[in-house]
Amino acid sequence: MIRRAMQKGKYHGFQCSITDPTISHIFFADDSLLISMASASYCLRIRDMLDLYSRASDHRINYDKSVVCFSRDMQPSKGDHLASIFGVRWVKFHERYLGRPSFSGVSKKLLFNDIKDRFWSKIKGWREKLLSVAGKQILIKSVLWSIPAYSMSLFRFPKGFVNELHKMCAHFWCGSAKVVRKIHWST
């Protein structure tokens, strides 16, 4: 439906530059992100397409879980009006989608802080003295490095941040006692 509306010139997506492809929608599992101009006519067209889809597929759209998000320069009165066309909430800053921030306008350090916190909480939870070196290595490779894997496919991590994660792994793997500090051999 969206492609047909685009071909007929009734719907336009977003294009970063002239050479980039136009992005009109992103579907992931049972979520849909629809991208268009912020005007009443486009919102009405999108609502009509959603209603048609709902009737044709017998899938109900849960408007209680749906939100609309506009660019930063959207006037509050216009944003409220456009959100009311769909009967959904207008979120000014859509914080997370699939566990990651939707917008990366914040500092990189703050953006990835939760990964470091989850990394550290896993390390703290394991009883270091009860694990062999091989056991620690398996936990590092299978559990710790699975935490940032999805985010690493979306964002380029700062080198300093990756070094911090490596340092945390090395400290856990080699261990340290209060009296004797063990040595981490770099390869």
The verdict on residue 102 lying in a domain is: no
In this structure, is residue 103 part of a structural domain?
no
Q: At 181, is the secondary structure helix, strand, or coil?
A: strand
6 and 87 fall within a common domain: yes
20 part of a folded domain: yes
Residue 10 and residue 52: Cα distance in Å, rounded? 15
| Residues in the chain, overall count | 187
Split into its structural domains, the chain has a count of: 2
Residue at which a domain ends, from 94, 127, 147: 94
User: Three-class SS of residue 89?
Assistant: strand
> Are the beta carbons of 147 and 122 closer than 8 angstroms?
yes
Q: Quick check: is 186 in a domain?
A: no
Q: Which domain holds residue 131?
A: 108-174
- Per-residue pLDDT tens listing for the chain (187 residues): 777 877 787 777 888 788 888 888 878 777 777 888 888 888 888 888 888 888 998 888 888 888 888 877 888 889 899 899 988 888 776 566 666 666 555 566 667 888 888 888 888 887 666 778 788 888 888 888 888 887 787 778 888 888 999 888 888 877 655 555 665 566 5
Interhelix angle 40-57/76-86, rounded to 10 degrees, is 20
Q: Would the pTM count as exceeding 0.85?
A: no
Exposure string over 7-41, b if 16+ CB within 10 A, otherwise e = eeeebeeeeeeeeeeeebbeeeeeeeebbbebeee
